[in-house]
Structure 1
Amino acid sequence: MMMNHELLVQLYMDKPFIVPSMLMTSYKKIGMTETQFMVLMHIQQFSQEGNFFPTPNELQARMSIDEKECTNQLKELLKKGFLSIEERQEEDGRLSEAFSVKPLYEKMVLFLNNSLLDSGKKTKQIEEGQLFRRFEEEFSRPLSPMEMEMISMWLDDDGHTPQVIEAALRESVVSSKLNFRYIDRILFDWKNNGIKTLQQAREHGERIRHHQLKKTNQYTGDDKSEKKTRHPHYNWLKN
């Protein structure tokens, strides 16, 4: 059966009603009930239709709650700060009241930002916990309070990432110099040279090796000046 031509045209002309997926999955977390969520969605739909201040009676006509409950839900939404009432200027210049769901989306953005911050903090805590365990695995013993404090200083005071500190640990292992003084020398050298990433550390190591090789080729025999070179011959970050 074919649909009425005018009805079909109207369906195509209607503005699509889009609900952000993040709002659908998070409205409970920001403190809304299903009923309050649907009231807000109906208010937004009315707004698209040109009715910017629908009455409780108009809202309940599209919902399964009565007018009294609809009024109560509107009061709760205003009280919780998910909905506001603003002045709106009509085309003829008259001022009228209108619902605004902008506070809802402002709360949503704030929630998402806080979630990202919390996620970042959790990720950092996990990475730092793994770093301490990595040290204990390499040293084959629990770390002393002083050693744990030194790792914390590398993280907090010197600003090294867990990945860079672990790379320095790995370097001390392959160089057969597994001790905190040696690791601290590596990190001190990296910090002085602005090394903040593994890639920068690799490139820095290549420059050092190239410089040392060049000096070695310039001299013959056991030259003391070569032994006094500032940088040890690191095996920089080879996996």
Structure 2
Amino acid sequence: MQKSDLLDWLKEGNISIPAVLLSEYKRMNLSEQELVLLLHVQYFMDKGNYFPTPAELAGRMTANSLECSQILRSLIQKGFIEIIEGNSPEGIRFEKYSLQPMQEKLVERFLSSKKQDQAQVRRTEETDVYTCFEKEFGRPLSPFECETLAMWMDDDLHDPIIIKSALREAVISGKLNFRYIDRILFEWKKNGVKTIEQAKSHSRKFRQYQNQQRPVVSDEAKVQSRPVPFYNWLEQ
């Protein structure tokens, strides 16, 4: 074999396929034969042959021409390939394969997978919220309390992280009840608080404001009294 022959062989090049097709084809109800035929259709299209015949495909596969024809029909029925019309530079109309339906299915698969992942993360966060509340209250939540928690997340659209931050704020203030936490969440939403950092900043400002509003007491009174970290959000 001559060096030029090897160079010609290397010039066959590569075909570009989405890696997700290899990892998802089984879940997309594709068989190995259907997958391989799709790859060969892509190869022929990359070489300028946009409508390879079953015989041409069979020449590159272990399946015969009739089997390749059946596989093509199956792929069209499943919506992975479609036959569209094209126009040559001379204005001659011809038929060709399009793999855009396959690409659209891959995009849909990706978006669906992302949505499922996000839903799972959301369920985990919501479960963690219930666990945190029961831990702080030291008991199982009542049906009414569970309904209130669900309303905060589903109706008021409070992020589970923000709800847990409001719970911590209620613990610090010594006012561990749902009415107090609801008031905190209401104030935070009214003031555009959406992150833990914003919640901490808003709480610091509120505490500073409350400290400024407290009456000045004498040094003797300070000694006799013991400071209690109480921040009454219900007075807002």
Q: Is 2:35 the counterpart of 1:37?
A: yes
Equivalent of 1:173 in 163, 166, 171? 171
Q: Normalising by structure 2, what TM-score?
A: 0.86
1:5 to partner: Cα distance: 2.9
CA distance in 1, matches of 2:143, 2:211: 40
Alignment length, in residue pairs?
222
Q: Give the alignment partner of residue 216 of structure 2, picking from 195, 212, 220.
A: 220
Deviation track 1:186-238 (CA, whole Å, cap 9, x = no partner) reads: 1122122121111111121222233344445xx6339xxxxxxxxx6379xxx
Residue 181 of structure 1 deviates from its aligned partner by 1.8
With over 3 angstroms needed to count, the CA separation of the structure-2 counterparts of 1:168 and 1:3, relative to structure 1, is: farther
Q: Secondary structure, in 3 states, of the residue corresponding to 1:30?
A: coil
Alignment counterpart, residue 90 of structure 1, candidates 84, 88, 91? 88
Q: Are residues 66 and 193 of structure 1, via their aligned partners in 2, closer, same or farther at CA, if it must alter by over 3 Å?
A: same
Unaligned residue ranges in structure 2 (runs of 5+): 219-229
Secondary structure at 2:37 match in 1: helix
Q: TM-score, normalised by structure 1?
A: 0.85
Instruction: Indicate if the aligned counterparts of 1:171 and 1:234 stay in contact, CA closer than 8 A.
Output: no
1:186–1:60 Cα change, 3 Å = same
Correspondence for 2:136: 138
Amino acid across the alignment from 1:195: V
**Pairing 1:117–2:124 present:** no
Report the equivalent of 2:102.
Answer: 104
Q: Which amino acid aligns with 2:182?
A: D
- Measure the CA separation in 1 of the matches of 2:145 and 2:128: 15
In 1, the alpha carbon distance for the partners of 2:211 and 2:166 equals 22
Paired with 2:79 and 2:185, the residues of 1 have a C-alpha distance of 50
- In the aligned structure 1, how far is the partner of 2:134 from the partner of 2:98? 57
RMSD across aligned positions (CA): 2.1
Aligned mates of 1:214, 1:135 — CA distance in 2: 32
Name the residue aligned to 2:162: 164
- Corresponding residue for 1:5? 4
Superposition deviation, residue 67 in structure 1: 1.0
d(CA) in 1 for partners of 2:163 and 2:188?
10
Aligned equivalents of 1:34 and 1:6: distance in 2?
Answer: 31
Over the matched positions of the two proteins, sequence identity in percent amounts to 40
Secondary structure of the residue that 1:87 maps to in structure 2? strand
- 1:58 corresponds, among 56, 59, 63, to 56
In structure 2, give the amino acid aligned to 1:59: L
CA shift at 1:150, angstroms? 0.9
